[in-house]
Amino acid sequence: MPTRSSTQSGPVHLSLPSAQPEPVSGCRHCLELAVRRRSAVSSSDYSKATDVNVALRAHLREAHGGEE
């Protein structure tokens, strides 16, 4: 049976996180999502903040024709 290695063969390359999506001025849904994100960050719930960013990006694509 071949011996299996438990270490990586090369370096791991990580990229910087993408910028947070910006809400569109005057859009109530964007504002609601921005408030939810701010609340999540202020309570150190970064997982929830990430989920809200995903929802905001989807909303920006669908309702405003772009991400930012």
What is the pLDDT, as a whole number, of residue 1?
Answer: 61
Burial class (CB in 10 A: 0-12, 13-18, 19+), 41: middle
Q: What is the pLDDT of residue 56?
A: 97
Q: How far apart are CA 8 and CA 54, in angstroms?
A: 31
Spell out the per-residue pLDDT of the chain, length 68, in tens: 667 777 778 888 889 888 999 999 999 999 999 999 999 999 999 999 999 999 999 999 999 997 64
